Amino acid sequence: MEQEVIPAASTQEAPTQPVGAESVGAAPTAQPARGGARGAIRGRGSRPGGRNTRAPRERGEFDQVTIDARRVARVMAGGRRFNFSLVVVIGDRKGRVGVGLGKGVDTALAIDKATRDAKKHLFTVPRTKTGSIPHEVSSKYASSTVEIIPSTGRGLVAGSAMRTVLDLAGVTDVVTKIHTRSKNKLTIARATVEALKKLRTK
């Protein structure tokens, strides 16, 4: 009786691989992207109540510029105590402008006081249709003397604190002169204000 001989190779079963293991030379299986689920949850779209849905901040009625800031020291029994003094100019560029002075133990408090002081001293500048002034005017405040001359088509030719005051007042087509050596921006700004208050419409 003949017995069938089975080759040894056929009797061996293929080695089993643990689940998830990769054979050598085989194409790697696709792995999920790291943080993919997290990125899908977060996303880049706007969320309700997020920053993208916040209403834009409304612009104030007046523009504000700080033209001078000083740190003042007082000698006390325990040492020196510092305060801040700031000069602020506000205006709507449509004819209304004001200059204010504020003092405080920090700059935020000084700016707040100066802004309130400037709003108390708001006034309206008489202007022509082109944005210039009706006539030539000059004024003196403390040690500062200024002069404002209308000049058609020249734009705003001014420097120092005069430019800030006239710009925020919406005045253009003028030439200005500062007849003093003083560099005090507060007195120059207040001299400019006094000159603008002398304007009269024809």
How confident is the model at residue 50, as a pLDDT? 53
How confident is the model at residue 11, as a pLDDT? 44
Q: Are residues 175 and 159 in the same domain?
A: yes
Q: Which of 106, 123, 140 is the last residue of a domain?
A: 123
Report mean pLDDT in 10-residue bins for the chain, 202 residues. 50 49 50 52 54 56 92 90 94 94 94 96 93 94 94 91 95 93 93 94 70
**Domain-located, residue 72:** yes
Q: The domain that contains 133 carries what CATH number?
A: 3.30.230.10
How far is it, in rounded angstroms, from Cα 127 to Cα 172?
A: 9
Q: Are residues 84 and 142 in the same domain?
A: no
Contact in structure between 171 and 132 (CB atoms under 8 Å)? yes
How far is it, in rounded angstroms, from Cα 5 to Cα 157?
A: 113
Q: Which of 92, 123, 154 is the last residue of a domain?
A: 123
Q: Are residues 86 and 67 in the same domain?
A: yes
**Domain-located, residue 54:** no
pTM for this structure? 0.68
> Which residue in 113, 110, 152 sits closest to 130, CA to CA?
152
How confident is the model at residue 192, as a pLDDT? 95
DSSP letter, residue 40: H
How confident is the model at residue 78, as a pLDDT? 86
Q: Which of 123, 152, 171 is the last residue of a domain?
A: 123
How confident is the model at residue 182, as a pLDDT? 87
Tally of domains within the chain? 2
Please give the C-alpha separations between residue 64 and each of 46, 88, 118, 164, in angstroms, as whole numbers.
34, 7, 10, 10
Containing structural domain, residue 189: 125-197
Contact in structure between 119 and 92 (CB atoms under 8 Å)? no
Q: Are residues 112 and 140 in the same domain?
A: no
